[in-house]
Amino acid sequence: MTELKPCPFCGHTAHVQQLKWSAKARFFVGCGNAKNRCIASVHNTFGRFYDREHDAIEAWNRRADND
């Protein structure tokens, strides 16, 4: 598994989450800093779901300054 980059907004550790309420596995990544209400916290990530864990990690790790 590819290592997750820290949150681009607050620098906190990110976490991969798997949705279990769907018949099909869905993954997303969010910041674990919900206590400080980071905009990228796992509670604010609805709508950015991926079929594969790898795709969710790749999307999270993509930054504006990537080549």
Residue-wise pLDDT for 27-64, tens only, equals: 989 888 877 788 888 766 656 889 999 999 999 999 88
Structure tokens at 10: 């607050």
pTM: 0.80
One DSSP character per residue, 20-51 reads: -SSSS-EEEEEES-TTTT-TTBGGG-TT--BS
3-class secondary-structure state, position 19: strand
42 with 36: CB under 8 angstroms? no
**Measuring CA to CA, how many Å separate 2 from each of 25, 38, 52, 57?**
19, 23, 13, 7
